[in-house]
Amino acid sequence: MFSYFLRRVILMLPVAFGVSVICFLLVQIAPGDPLTAIMPVDATADEQAAMRAIYGLDKPLPIQYAIWIGNLAHGDMGKSIATGRPVAGEVFGAVNNSLLLAFSAAVIAFPIGIFLGFLAGYFRDTWIDRVVTAISIAGVSVPNYWLGIVLVIIFSVNLGWLPSMGAGPGGSQDWSWDWLHMRHLVLPAVTLAVVPIGIVARTVRALAGDLLTQDFVLALYAKGMSRGDVLRHVARNAAATALSVMGLQLGYLLGGSILIETVFNWPGSGFLLSNAIFQRDLPLLQGTILVLALFFVAMNLIVDVAQAAIDPRIKRS
C-alpha cells in the first residue's frame, strides 16, 4: 500500500507543476492592465514604469514565473495589488471559509444522495425509482444561484428564520462556532448541496441497480444471507466508484462555489476570486487559483488511495 501511495505522489508532482504553469499563464494573458486599479489616471510613463518594476511586471514572462515559483517555495505568494496585504493571508483565510462551506454541503449532500440512490436502485423501475430520478434531475438542472435567491426570499425575507448574508451577525466576515454564526451557514450549505445530491443519487442508483442483478447477489441469497448482509456486500462493491464521484464533487464544491458565495456574501475563495477578477489583481488571482487547483489535485490523490484501500483490485492493476 505504501508503494502505491508513493507512486501516486510521484505522479502528482508533474501534474502540480503543470497546474502552476497554467495558473500563471491564464492570468497573464487575460486582457487589461493590473495596475490601472491603483495608479492615477494622469500617471506619467516614468511612474508607470516604476510601478511595474515594483511588482516585477517589467520582466519577461519566464523570469516572472521563475520568481513566482521561487517565492512560493518560501511560502510567499506576493502582495495584493489592490490592498497591499500579503496574498497568502487573504487566500488561506478565504479557503478556510470555503472549506467550511464545502464540507458542510458535503455532509448534507452525500448521505442524502447515497440513501436516495440505494433506494432507487433497490426499487428499480418502480414509482420510488421514478420519484428519486425526478428529484435527482431537478437537483442537477436547477441553477444553484437562482435557488439561493429563492431560498433567501422565502426563509430570510418572508419568514425571517435565517440570515441571508455574511458569516456572522451584522454581515460579519469572521467565523465562530456558535449558533449565531452557524445560522449563516445553513442557506448557502443547503443551496450548494442540491447539485451533488442529484449527481451522487444518480451514480449510486446506477451502481446499486446493476450490482443487484449480478450473479454473486443471487449466490449470497442462495447461501441464506439476510437482506442486510447482501446489501452490505453490494455497498462495498459500489463504494470505490461512488467514492470517486464524491471526491470530484467535493473538489467542485470548493472551487465552483463562486456564485453561491457571491449571492450570500460568504467570505470564501469564490467571493475573493470574484473581487480579484474585477480588480484585475494578478497576485491574488494567481494565488487563489493555484491553491484551489492544488486542493483538487490533492483530493484526487486521497480518493485514489482510498479506492485502493477499499478495492484491492485497483492497487493490483
Domain ranges of the chain: 1-74, 88-315
Q: What is the pLDDT of residue 30?
A: 64
**pLDDT given for residue 170 in this prediction:** 66
The b-or-e profile of 262-272 (16+ CB within 10 A means b, else e) is: bbbebbbbbbb
For the chain (317 residues), the mean pLDDT of every run of 10, in chain order, is 72 80 74 62 69 71 80 78 77 83 89 88 84 87 85 86 76 69 84 88 84 76 76 77 81 76 80 77 80 81 75 58
* Predicted pLDDT of residue 306: 75
Q: According to the model, what pLDDT value does residue 235 have?
A: 77
* Nearest-angstrom CA–CA distance, 160 and 122: 40
Q: Residue 112: its pLDDT value, please?
A: 92
| Contact indicator for 77, 85 with CB cutoff of 8 Å | no
Predicted local confidence at residue 98, as pLDDT:
84
For residue 117, give every residue at least 6 positions away whose Cβ sits within 8 Å of its Cβ, in sequence order, or none.
132, 200, 201, 202, 203, 204, 205, 207, 208, 242
1.10.3720.10, 3.30.70.1110, 3.10.129.10, 2.40.170.20: which CATH number matches 88-315? Answer: 1.10.3720.10
Task: Supply the pLDDT for residue 40.
Answer: 63
What per-residue confidence (pLDDT) applies to 313?
62
0.95 exceeded by pTM: no
